[in-house]
Amino acid sequence: MDNFIVSARKYRPESFTSVVGQAVITNTLKNAIQKKHLGHAYLFCGPRGVGKTTCARIFAKTINCINITGDSEPCNTCESCTSFTESRAFNIHELDAASNNSVEDIRNLTEQVRIPPQVGKYSIYIIDEVHMLSASAFNAFLKTLEEPPAHAVFILATTEKHKIIPTILSRCQIFDFNRIRVDDIVSYLEYISNEEGVEYEVDAFNIIALKADGAMRDALSIFDQIVSFSGKSINYKDVIQNLNILDYEYYFRITEACLGGQVGETFMIFNEILEKGFDEHNFLAGLSSHLRDLLVCQDPVTLILLEVGAGIREKYQQQSKSTSQEWLYSALNILGTADVSFKTSRNQRLHVELALIKLCHISADSKKKALTAEKKSPDPATAEIQSTEPTPAEKKSPDPAPAEKQSTDAATDKKQSVDTSGKDEPAAEQKEDSEEQASRTPAQSRKQILGSVPSIKDALNGKSSTGKEQDTGADQTIRPVLSNPFTQDDLLEKWNNYADQIKEDKPRMSSSLKHHLPFLGDALQIEVVLSNSAQFEEFNRDIKPGLVSYLENTLQNTQFRIIPVILEEERNENTLYTSEEKFDHMIKKNPDLGKLKERFNLDFE
């Protein structure tokens, strides 16, 4: 029986042109050879199976070739090329740093470097997995790597560049190899299939390329595995069965069910997937990738990011037409959250099923939000008609003449009483109020002030602290009704503009406005949360009138209400201000404190 050679070795590139997916690096090396700008140390780094060692061997063979072609390729016919192909070259040395990582191994290498090559111009040392060298070995290698003999060239290869010390990196020309694209892997697999006489489906090769994750060696190994399984014919079903990959069809079916809100259908499809032995977490990741591909299909610019076969590409384009970007955004957000919390869930199947239920209800939730928004936003024409109707107060007093007459009579009576008594009665009442106010304690005064301030809850309900409806502060003059809608961002912009305008004349008020930003609630109620009663009085007295006028003009809306409120903590009636009040509060909880005070004749400081 003939010895079987795996495809990764049998079809290993022997020239720069045959290297797949690394055109930038191969062109750079060819130009260096052509211009004779060869360095003494190179570092090839990148993921597995992308051609690092292959390019190192081709480069070593080319610089020692006697008859280099015009495009800087080896001739493969001279003694140097032939000896290298037959693995009997004495001037190209390959070392494995994983098994030769000690200082003694590096010392032997430095001794060997001194010997000039017998054939060719250069002695090339290819050190694979160089990151496995110990720190002492790296330090022992520094001097030789920086100043080697003229005939010595070092080519270091690694998959983990971050493990190499900076002093080594600074002495090398660094080439970063990229992952090989899916299209390049598929094309190379088609070339090998044609050489081997294997029939194939392009969709099957796409699955192999995706499974290889950018590594050509992995793709060729999978190719050999599938050929051993299915013989000389490779199809899509055999590949997904052999590699235990979930078919795209399941993702298309479950997406259709979620779009239609069919929770039961999604559960049955998910159960079918689990019965085939697939993991719940892998299903979540696969469904997220599927929705990502649907999002990519909706824009012709990003369509090139879809790495699938032509037949599956058409299915993606058809399903993407029936899905909206908003639905995909919400679905990806749900699946991302489920993926993050999957490992911490005890019932993982239920965790995935809950995510599927949320996917099925995305459309229904969007419709509910749209209907709610339509109900909340009033029709401008209706609002204008309602604003022109008379208020209940206007209906009760249609004729202003009697009210004017009553005020005139009251003024006359007041004047007569002043003339007869010789004293002003309101002045006397004012004097009594001032005496009563002076007799109050400071704590009682503060409580009374805070008690007259509306809380957040009362202000939002349009009530004062006594439970009565608040005075809206509507101007008695007739003003044009403006109902231009505005948002929280519009309100903040105009609020800050007004604060900037009064900054020069009233810097303290401007700073207060900047510090206490408003919040736009329902029914155009603008809430401003203040810290204490002093700020409340200052806001109503000095700031609010001009601010309301400015906002009405700039926002083109006269139907909003500004409601200043104080934090609930400020209005707490149990707040104690004096030592006597604190002691009375403590006696309520422990009456024995009063007996203790009397027994020891204690007093307050």
Asked if 238 and 265 sit in the same domain, the reply is no
Residue 390 is predicted with a pLDDT of 52
Residue 568 has pLDDT above 80, yes or no: no
Residue 14 has pLDDT above 90, yes or no: no
Q: How far apart are CA 300 and CA 303, in angstroms?
A: 5
Asked if 79 and 214 sit in the same domain, the reply is no
Quote the mean pLDDT of the chain. Answer: 79
* Domain-embedded: residue 318: yes
Residue 257 is predicted with a pLDDT of 92
Show which of 121, 146, 176 is a domain's final residue: 176
- Length of the chain measured in residues: 605
Among 141-145, 346-350, 478-482, 556-560, the least confident range: 478-482
- Which phi and psi angles does 300 have, rounded to 5°? -60, -25
Q: Where residue 396 falls among pLDDT bands split at 50, 70, 90?
A: very low
Asked if 127 and 195 sit in the same domain, the reply is no
What distance lies between CA 180 and its chain's CA centroid?
A: 28
Residue 402 is predicted with a pLDDT of 44
pLDDT digits (tens, 9 = 90+) for 50-81: 999 999 999 999 998 888 888 888 888 888 88
User: At 33, which CATH number?
Assistant: 3.40.50.300
- Look at the chain and report how many structural domains it folds into: 4
* Mean pLDDT score, 515-533: 80
Residue 292 has pLDDT above 60, yes or no: yes
Residue 445 is predicted with a pLDDT of 45
Whether pTM > 0.75 for this model: the answer is no
Describe the strand order of the beta sheet including 519-520 as a list of residue ranges. 519-520, 525-530, 561-566
* Domain-embedded: residue 198: yes
pLDDT digits (tens, 9 = 90+) for 228-249: 888 888 888 888 888 888 888 8
Q: How far apart are CA 490 and CA 330, in angstroms?
A: 27
Residue 233 is predicted with a pLDDT of 87
The CA-atom distances, in angstroms, between 32 and each of 39, 85, 108, 170, 503 are 9, 23, 30, 19, 67
* Mean pLDDT score, 343-354: 91
Asked if 309 and 348 sit in the same domain, the reply is yes
Asked if 96 and 204 sit in the same domain, the reply is no
Residue 191 belongs to domain spanning: 182-242
- Which phi and psi angles does 572 have, rounded to 5°? -65, 120
Q: How far apart are CA 67 and CA 87, in angstroms?
A: 19
Q: Count of CB atoms within 10 A of residue 240's CB?
A: 18
Asked if 158 and 11 sit in the same domain, the reply is yes
- Which phi and psi angles does 441 have, rounded to 5°? -80, 160
